[in-house]
Amino acid sequence: MKTAYLGKKVKKIRKSHSNLLDSISRTNEDIKHGSDIWNVYDFMYLDKNKIPALNVLEISIPTKSDFIIESKSMKLYLNSFYNKSFKSKTEIIKKIRKDIESKIKTKIKIKFISTFEKEPQHIKLNNLKSKQTPNKKIIKFNGFRSICPVTSQPDFANIYIYSDKSINTIWLKKYLMSFANHGGFHEQCIELIFKTLKNEFSINHLEVCGRFQRRGGIDINPIRGTHNKKLFVNFREFNQ
C-alpha cells in the first residue's frame, strides 16, 4: 500500500486539494450491501464573510466502491478547509463530493448534520445469560477493541448485530473479544465479523454495524449486510 501521507511527517498544508487524498483498494469482493459512514465532527471553513464556521459533516461511502479513502489523508484534506472561504454550504458539498468521487470512482452521499439518529433498541450481549442469542433482534457488544495495523494504536467500538438465526452466546462473546490485539482497519474488522458469522451459522439475513469511537475528530462506522435495505443508520449511543 503506497500512500502519500500515512505514517509520514507532514509539512504545513495550505490548500484544500484532492491530491491530499489517498485511495486504498477494498478487499470485500463478495460483500455487496453496506456503507462506511464517516462523521467529521470538527469541519471548519470560512463563510462568505470570511468568518470561521464549525460544523459536522456526514460522508457515506458505499461498500460497492473499489476504493476507500485512507483516514489520515481524509483528515488532512478536510482540515485544510479551515482558512478557505465559501459562498454557501452547497458549494462546499459540491467540492468535497467531486474530490472524493474522483479518487474512489464511485458516487457518495455527503451532507451537513446537526443531530444523530437514536440508538436502536437492542439486547446487551455482554451480560446475556441465555445460551443462544434471540433471533431477529439487535444484539449489542460493548467494549470491542482492535489495533490499527499502521500505528498500532487501539481502536474502540460497540458492535451491533442483527441476525435471523440464533448464535451461540459464549462463542460470540469470545469471538468478538478475540479482536483485542487484532491488526485491522475498521472496515476490515467489520467485514471479517460479517463473513465469519454468515458462514459459521448459515445466516440468511445478517447485518453488522461497528460504531467506532472518534480519532482525530472523525469516526468511521462500517455497516455490512446481506440485504440492500439497511437496518442501521447513522446513530449514536449518546447525543452530546
Known catalytic residue: 42?
no
Are 113 and 146 in contact, with CB atoms under 8 Å apart?
Answer: no
Torsion of CA 102, 107, 110, 116, to 10 degrees: -140
Cell 478536510 found at: 78
Q: Which of 36, 155, 189, 209 is catalytic?
A: 155
Question: DSSP assignment, residue 139?
Answer: E
Class of residue 220 by CB neighbours under 10 A (exposed 0-12, middle 13-18, buried 19+)? buried
Side-chain-side CA neighbours of residue 176 (13 Å): 26
Q: Which of 42, 99, 148, 164 is catalytic?
A: 148
Known catalytic residue: 189?
no
Strands 235-236 and 117-118: parallel
Any idea which residues carry the catalytic annotation? 148, 155
